[in-house]
Chain A
């Protein structure tokens, strides 16, 4: 029996800051001290506080060590594990309160979270099925198979109010009932793990930290609609997720929790992985299934909807990873438990990947209806460097931005749509006053132009033209008429594109136009970029009253654009200036400004 467990994050974030080496060092040091039968080292999934990785928690004390280095390991082992003295200087400082050490759940980052889909992430070793089973794993499948009819399973999911977490927000139980209503025969259960939005890593973290929950939920879905085969379409760029999923599938097979006659019933179910090559369009359901079939990942018109005619022409349900991660909990705890969380039309919790200009970059799960202010300011720790919050971007290239005046809006599907954004899969990128909103719209359009599959004209050509218009604006060559034309084109693409990618591609433009029209006008009329981002519109100048003639700027300028004598005011030759900003960074007297 171990007296202590040391949990080390093995998610992608912490792995990239060498948590693997930390685990090795820990094991070596523990052995050297003869503690290997007393202390167990456990590699877990993501704890959420990625900004402070690599992360390590020592139980039973619950000591949360952050930004651990390999060099710190001997001290932690000797002091904490051997002598019982917590190494305070290495603890996450939010948990240190004078002489006391606070519980992690009392820190601002965790206090308002409600980890449901992420419940096992950072708790269990995702590569050990026994640990998943100990956390009531496969109990929901057992309950469904032995105590419930397929209709009851669907009714339970319907009653819970669970909606698709991939972004669309379609009621999951209703989707299942469509596929269940199709005549008996071959049907498929698919999982969309093709998370492609820039800045989103919710699904990856669930797959890395708790892969069995997805398998179990897919088996439950298979039972509900009458399918014996599941496919997980996962990005090949998620190597850790792919590896742990395969381990999980193999272990579940070994235990008979996947395969023939599960729990001795006549229900059989198998799951296979299909690796995506990283095309954004393959996150769209029809393109995803086309890709699984071995064809080029292109969407097709709907109807017929996948529930009627999906993968290989058979009735298919396709749900997102996070949606599946809620299913077992609903079956075990009941629909009422789930619907007690959230808002009237959006039940349960939502996982968000916090990124951009925010202190606590990481993964958070909050009840629906939590305000953006709570997420950004309390959980996320606010904007770094004393800068002002400008907007948050949700929904990636399909979504929009939420400006500061809507910080107090309770986040759910319908509220976000009402202000011209969308939930998306949960990427939440925070922007401060140094972000140019036209530039952001341009960034997302560059992405969609790249990722458009080219099948339909509105998307293939429309997004390209849209991007050209945005470039014209950021270069200072646009007229007010261009803005009107651009807006018209946005609506045209939305109405006419074939699939979700094209239909939502103009959203970043429309929502920035809606909330930050003055910035667009400044670019067009005044030929200025208020945030100082768009290079073509920038002018660097030296204030002769402040310049002391130290020559630092002239020496750092890569293009020889600054001239002047020592101890005399310098000047910038705007024709030669490439607007790199190196001079401004170097000046100690604040004499250089841009605008």
Chain B
């Protein structure tokens, strides 16, 4: 016998997975480069880390998707974060550990992690 609380729990647990099934142009977009260069450098681990971290923190207004090669092969894995106001940040040489900080500070906290960005190279 399910109570109202049980129902709510199932809803919460499953809802997150179903959030994937809408087009959500107003979400924060995270695009991970998944071309051969990216995959070779470990982009899939990075991609999955983004997905897991966002699920763990229950961040609903974020879409994690993939993109092709943007030409920075030597800096892979690369990811772009585009916030709701259209600001784009390009992160380079990502690792799963860096992803944890980016999700924490940039996605949840709205403060880009400057030292991981393409700009930090200059």
Contacts and interface: CB of A to CB of B under 8 A. Distances in A.
B51 A3 contact: yes
B68 A131 contact: no
B113 interface: no
A33 to B, nearest CB: 10
Interface residues of A, number: 37
Interface stretch (B12-20, B88-96, B99-107): B12-20
A3 B52 CA distance: 8
B48 interface: yes
B32 A84 contact: yes
Given A1-B51, A133-B14, A82 B34 contact: yes
A38 B45 CA distance: 10
Contacts of B64: 3, 60
Interface in A108-146: 123-124, 130-131, 133-136, 138-139, 142, 146
Given A130-B10, A134-B11, A84 B51 contact: no
Give the 7 A-B CB pairs with smallest separation, nearest first.
A84-B66, A84-B34, A134-B14, A256-B1, A3-B51, A62-B23, A1-B55
Determine which residue in B2, B35, B39 has the highest number of CB atoms from chain A within 10 A of its CB, and name it: B2
Interface in A85-129: 85, 103-105, 123-124
Contacts of A450: none
Nearest to B36: A83
Contacts of B52: 1
Given A38-B48, A103-B23, A264-B1, A61 B65 contact: yes
Interface of A: 1-5, 7, 38, 40, 59-62, 82-85, 103-105, 123-124, 130-131, 133-136, 138-139, 142, 146, 255-257, 261, 263-264
Given A59-B21, A134-B10, A263-B2, 15 more contacts: A1-B52, A7-B21, A38-B47, A59-B22, A60-B20, A61-B66, A82-B34, A85-B68, A131-B14, A134-B11, A135-B18, A139-B7, A142-B4, A146-B4, A257-B2
A177 B67 CA distance: 56
B43 to A, nearest CB: 9
A134 B19 CA distance: 10
A133 B33 contact: no
Contacts of A61: 65-66
A263 B2 CA distance: 6
Contacts of B34: 82-84
Nearest to A42: B21
Contacts of A59: 20-22
A385 to B, nearest CB: 33
Nearest to A132: B14
Given A5-B21, A105-B23, A83 B68 contact: yes
Nearest to B51: A3
Interface of B: 1-4, 7, 10-11, 13-18, 20-25, 32-36, 39, 44, 47-48, 50-52, 55, 63-68
A131 B14 CA distance: 6
Nearest to A260: B1
Given A60-B20, A104-B23, A134-B14, A3 B68 contact: no
13 contacts: A1-B17, A3-B64, A60-B63, A83-B34, A83-B35, A105-B23, A131-B18, A133-B7, A133-B10, A139-B7, A139-B11, A142-B7, A256-B2
A62 B18 CA distance: 13
A540 B22 CA distance: 56
A588 B19 CA distance: 57
A263 B3 contact: yes
A437 to B, nearest CB: 43
Contact of B47 (A3, A40, A134, A264): A3
A59 B21 CA distance: 6
A130 to B, nearest CB: 5
B23 A124 contact: no
A134 B4 contact: no
B4 A84 contact: no
A131 to B, nearest CB: 6
Contacts of B51: 1-3, 38
Contacts of B39: 82-83
Contacts of B32: 84
A24 B2 CA distance: 34
A2 B4 CA distance: 27
A84 B67 contact: yes
